[in-house]
Amino acid sequence: MSDTKPVQQLGQGFYWQDLEPGQRLKTFRRTVTEADLVGFIGVTGMLEVMFIDSEPLEGGIAGRPVPAALTYTLIEGLLLQTMIQGTGLAMLELTQKIHAPVLVNDRIYAIVEVDNIRPTSKGGRAIVDSTIKVYNQRDELVMTYTARRMLAGRNHAT
């Protein structure tokens, strides 16, 4: 192998120039585990009975529901590792709507749709708006959120 050939960075996220409004991207699936739930509520202090007791509350959700914040952060983790690794500069705004509970052992994934891209006046950056729809293993919509992020461009100084 020649040392003069350029080396491509593995795992590099998308620069804003790689995206266009209407573009859709799908994440891998991820199983939500009991360890995810226990670790998350331990770190955040979300020690609500419905999350710490394996018996459902009377009239509550059957199974082991997880906080919506955990669902969102697991999906963001998938996006950080792929779509915006090394190119995501800031999360600027986020709104969420929860449609259905996510339970331990559910397999979740997301479809990201790029809604708008607005280059900034400096630094080769852009503001990228997207809608993220989160589904479970039965392809039921469990969460929708919109995100406004600042992404680096190819000419962004690193």
Residues 130-149 have pLDDT tens digits of 999 999 999 999 999 999 99
For residue 157, pLDDT beyond 80: no
SS3 assignment, position 46? coil
SS3 assignment, position 28? coil
Give the global pTM: 0.91
For residue 158, pLDDT beyond 80: no
* pLDDT more than 70, % of the chain: 97
Whether 75 and 134 have beta carbons less than 8 Å apart is answered as yes
Whether 78 and 11 have beta carbons less than 8 Å apart is answered as no
Domains and CATH numbers, the chain: 16-151 (3.10.129.10)
Whether 107 and 137 have beta carbons less than 8 Å apart is answered as yes
Nearest-angstrom CA–CA distance, 143 and 135? 7
Q: Which two tokens stand for residue 88?
A: 């995501």
Q: Which two tokens stand for residue 122?
A: 């400096």
